Chains A and B, each alone.
Chain A
């Protein structure tokens, strides 16, 4: 009996610590951590390093928890899509129930700990972010409207606001500019991905813009959002979180981004097929650099301020 049990058990399915960590979407967490740090350091109030470190860690854990809950809810479509097939649940490493329990436990822990480490407003904003990502985006918008990633993008845009609130304990206009930057950046970023992932979203019945409105319309929408984003990103240079360094970075990056969006708009599927979506892939990679360097420039401006530099 014992032998039969041992033989039928597939040890390959036993999860490692890394599989549980993968549930937290570590790559998304790096973006959350970085933008939250920028929000925290750009605030006009200094934070004790230990409190700052703990707060960023709990924001990251909260983001990771929402990632685990997203994987629990989306396990059925993750099995279908090539991009997500190797995630811990579709790979058979972690059960859906385990992902749910880990997600709920870490959500509660991160929110309470952020409250204790920083303040109630920051904790409430983290709780709302988790709710927005899991319920509003994953459960409701993702499978019901092509505006899924437009509205759902807000979930990824909250971390710098939370970082700012950790430092100040209150709201201000500046963190919402950072929020707007990520919010406007999300659609062209994901639509470029949807273009070169081809049938992934069709197969999973996810109503991405490429599926509901077609690829030419998606290419046009990428251009529209890129132009709006450029106006916002360059305009931010003239606010209190901007400055000369940020302005130079924003002008150069938005020129490159706009050039990429125009190239995507001018192409059709035959041209994209011919070079295996080279332009779309380049645009997607540039979008990652775009966000990192914009927030890096905001961080530089903030770090220069104590030396009488930075800002206008």
Chain B
């Protein structure tokens, strides 16, 4: 006999956890995509150039 009877509340909590998990996974994918786009477009080129110039100055 099992003591862990599946209750409707467990299903609801499971659905909530899956929903939250998928939301977080989607957020991670979005951040990764944004980073790739911004790096490949050269959005950070200015800061790289300025740090190179600083190093050369030293």
Contact = CB atoms under 8 A, between A and B. Distances in A.
Q: Do A and B come from one complex?
A: yes
A16 B41 CA distance: 41
B12 A50 contact: no
A91 interface: no
Contact of A50 (B7, B16, B34): B34
Interface in A9-66: 11, 14-17, 20-21, 48, 50-51, 54, 57
B51 interface: no
Nearest to B41: A48
Most buried by A among B34, B37, B41: B34
A117 B20 CA distance: 22
A51 B16 contact: no
Contacts of A54: 30, 33-34
Contact of A116 (B8, B9, B34, B41): B34
B9 A11 contact: yes
A182 to B, nearest CB: 27
Given A50-B34, A50-B37, A57-B30, A15 B7 contact: no
Contact of B34 (A17, A21, A117): A117
Contacts of A14: 9, 12-13
Q: How large is the interface on B (under 10, 10 to 19, 20 to 34, 35 or more residues)?
A: 10 to 19
A54 B35 CA distance: 11
Nearest to A13: B9
Contacts of A15: 12, 16
A304 B19 CA distance: 39
Given A11-B7, A11-B8, A11-B9, A16 B16 contact: yes
Interface in B1-46: 7-9, 12-13, 15-16, 18-20, 30, 33-34, 37-38, 41
Contacts of B13: 14
Contacts of B15: 16-17
Given A11-B7, A48-B41, A16 B12 contact: yes
A276 to B, nearest CB: 37
A57 B27 CA distance: 10
Interface in A79-132: 116-117
B9 A17 contact: no
Interface string A178-201: 000000000000000000000000
A215 B18 CA distance: 48
Contacts of A117: 34
B14 to A, nearest CB: 10
A11 B16 CA distance: 14
A17 B7 contact: no
B34 to A, nearest CB: 5
B9 to A, nearest CB: 4
A83 to B, nearest CB: 26
Contacts of B7: 11
Given A17-B16, A48-B37, A48-B41, 16 more contacts: A11-B7, A11-B12, A14-B9, A15-B16, A16-B15, A17-B15, A17-B18, A17-B19, A20-B16, A20-B19, A50-B33, A50-B37, A51-B34, A51-B38, A54-B30, A117-B34
16 contacts: A11-B8, A14-B9, A14-B12, A14-B13, A15-B12, A17-B15, A17-B16, A17-B19, A17-B20, A50-B33, A50-B34, A50-B37, A51-B34, A51-B37, A54-B34, A116-B34
What are the 5 tightest A-B residue pairs by CB atom distance, in nearest-first order?
A17-B19, A11-B9, A17-B16, A50-B37, A50-B33
